Structure 1
Amino acid sequence: MARPSRAHERRADLVAAARRAVIGRGVLDLRLRDVAEEADMSSGSVLYYFPTLDDLLREVQREAVERFCAGREEAVRGEPDPLRRLAAMVRSGLPTGPDDELCVLLYELGTIARRDVSYAAEHIRLYERQVGIYAGILDTGAATGAFTLTRDAATIARNLVALEDGYGLHIVMAAPTLDAPRAARLLLAAAADATGLTLEAIEAAAPPHALDDPRTAAAPHDHDPEGDR
């Protein structure tokens, strides 16, 4: 009897090794041998499963995008109240801090999107999928009377995702200029402005389970005049 192929398992191991290598070294300085060493394999063995380093990194990016978007979808799934869904969505998109491996990985791989159309396409998919989640929440809220939108849902959704991207970068920089709770409150303020709500109403709407999750919760703040509405 033929032995079962371990190709799928080995490819998964290499994706995990490449993920660790990107986080540890950064994508711009990454070499094939870095991944091989991380996986405890020869460079030739890596190329047996992935013809080029770019092929491997594209799979790393695809998997990271899927995990991130699935996590955001899960954060709002099963919550019927649009206000609570919006609050949970806002809090699910930010890095927890400079050591948030999944978000750091996405930012690192995003740097290649400037010069490679295949990486750019995956980065666009990441953006559009998040926009779609937001737009669905906003449309539902407007239809039920929970929100009074100041713009169409798609425009608000695109702005919120872009703000998340910008604030997230400030959180994971070598010298962070924001922490996750501060960034979350700024985003909640923007969401309040766009939906005709008060910041306090959106903050109070955070689902109880979100408050126990460091990715989806913001810590209490002192009075913040920039965020008050």
Structure 2
Amino acid sequence: MHSGGGARSSRADQADQRRAELLEAARRVVLERGLASTRVADIARATNVSGGLVHYHFATKDDLITEMLRSTSDAEVQRLREIAAEPGSAIQRLDRVLRFYIPASRSDQSWILWLDAWAVGVREESVRTILLELEGVWIDILGRVIAEGVAAGEFACDDPQGSAERIDGMLDGLVVRYTLHAGNMSRSRLLHHARVAAAREVGLDPSAFPADPAEVS
């Protein structure tokens, strides 16, 4: 007698695949229309399914958007952890973390998504919670990189966590300016500001950072 376990597993796999497709479609639609303007109908149209099928997997639009933001956050955190754990000197690891954080360009889709989420998060607690969790993990990883540099005798810093918080706040402001105000700042200047601020926090001269290839603004 067959238990039916294989069939149940197949259906579960199909459901997981459909959810992943809907999450990816939600991300694309949000990047095009914005969080506030995105409708379930838009996401259904992008995946050629009915609105009813979307609601079968996600009870509400808010549930779908929240899950999309959380999956995006989880992927970015995983990549950040990998970058921070790569071998190298403390200054090399710090530089890699800074480079990962700042946008690759003004059209960096990840940052466009998070800037939109910041605006929505002012009023939406579920979005705000994800943003605060993501920021907390980023600060924790940055602080740990600094603390390990201190332990290795490469950095001088009495409060790695406080330094990470200050670097985070400074970078957020500069990234907003860089992303929203074309022509005011190049990416290379943004990276320079990040390095200067970080170097001051860890007791080094900015010239201690690795030689930098040409940056594209």
Q: TM-score, normalised by structure 2?
A: 0.88
Contact 2:92 2:210 in 1 (8 A): no
Matched with 1:164 is: 171
Highest RCO, 1 vs 2 (Cα 8 Å, sep ≥ 6): 1
CA distance in 1, matches of 2:68, 2:216: 35
1:188 Cα deviation after fit: 0.3
Q: Among the aligned pairs, what percent are the same residue?
A: 27
* Map of 1:25 onto structure 2: 33
Partner of residue 114, structure 2? 106
Tell me, in whole angstroms, the C-alpha distance in 2 between the residues paired with 1:180 and 1:71: 21
Instruction: Name 2:102's counterpart in structure 1.
Output: 94
Counterparts of 2:123 and 2:68, CA distance in 1: 17
The Cα offsets for residues 146-165 of structure 1, whole Å up to 9 and x where unpaired, read as: 1112x511111011122222
Could you list the per-position Cα deviations for residues 40-83 of structure 1 after superposition, in whole angstroms to 9, with x for gaps in the alignment? 11211111110100000001110111122222222222224211
The 2-side partners of 1:86 and 1:124 are apart by: 22
What's 1:138 paired with? 146
Structure 1 match to 2:19: 11
Matches of 1:100 and 1:194, distance apart in 2: 27
Counterpart of 2:196?
189
Does the 8 Å contact 2:187/2:216 carry over to 1? no
Instruction: Summarize the alignment of residues 1-229 of structure 1 with structure 2, pairs less than 5 Å apart.
Output: 2=7, 4-5=10-11, 6-149=14-157, 151-173=158-180, 175=182, 177-204=184-211, 219=215
How far apart, in 2, do the equivalents of 1:174 and 1:33 lie? Answer: 32
Give the Cα–Cα distance (whole angstroms) in 2 for the partners of residues 177 and 38 of structure 1: 36
User: What is the deviation of 1:37?
Assistant: 1.3
Identify unmatched segments of 5+ residues in structure 1: 212-217, 222-229
> For the residues of structure 2 that align with 1:125 and 1:182, how far apart are their CA atoms?
28
For 2:79, the aligned partner's letter is G
Given that residues 106 and 179 in structure 2 are in contact (C-alpha distance below 8 angstroms), is that contact kept between their aligned partners in structure 1? Answer: yes
Structure 1 residue matching 2:145: 3-state secondary structure = helix
Deviation of the 1:119 alpha carbon: 1.3
Letter in 1 for 2:65: L
SS at match of 2:59: coil
Alpha carbons 1:36, 1:42 under 8 Å: kept:
yes
Contact 1:131 1:157 (C-alpha < 8 Å) held by counterparts = yes
Determine the C-alpha separation between the residues in 1 that align with 2:50 and 2:184.
Answer: 40
User: What code does the residue aligned with 2:99 have?
Assistant: R
Q: Runs ≥4 in structure 1, deviation > 4 angstroms?
A: none
Amino acid at match of 1:192: A
Aligned residues: 209
State whether residues 156 and 194 of structure 1, in contact with CA within 8 Å, keep that contact through their aligned partners in structure 2.
Answer: yes
Q: Determine the C-alpha separation between the residues in 2 that align with 1:134 and 1:12.
A: 30
Unaligned stretches of 5+ residues in structure 2: none
TM-score for both structures, normalised by structure 1: 0.84
Q: Distance in 2 between matches of 1:171 and 1:24?
A: 20
What secondary structure does 1:146 align onto?
A: coil
